[in-house]
Amino acid sequence: METVAVDWTYAISTLIIRFVGIFVVLGILQIVMQVTGRIFTRLDAKDAAKAIPKPEEASLAMTAEQAAAVGMALYLYEKRR
């Protein structure tokens, strides 16, 4: 049986390069995800701003029936606790 010499300098340096490379790729991926998240948040904010009705168009006052329904819902919610 023949013994094989291992070049430990090459083996360790390769492992270190791969280890560092994984974290570099993960860091780049995290940055890309954060940037795309901010882009989508801005797009959603623009869409939401367009969808909100103006105060002149929507009535802000509640009817008596709506107020009674909200009061009953709050009462039942607190009663369950």
Give the mean pLDDT of the chain: 89
Distance, CA of 79 to CA of 81 (rounded, Å) = 6
Instruction: Give the residue, 13 or 56, on which the prediction is more confident.
Output: 13
pLDDT tens column, 39-78:
999 999 888 877 776 666 556 678 889 999 999 999 999 9
Token output for 59: 């009535």
Rounded to whole angstroms, the Cα distance separating 40 from 44 reads 6
Sign of CA dihedral 19, 23, 28, 32: positive
Predicted TM-score (pTM) of the model is 0.51
* % the chain with pLDDT above 90: 62
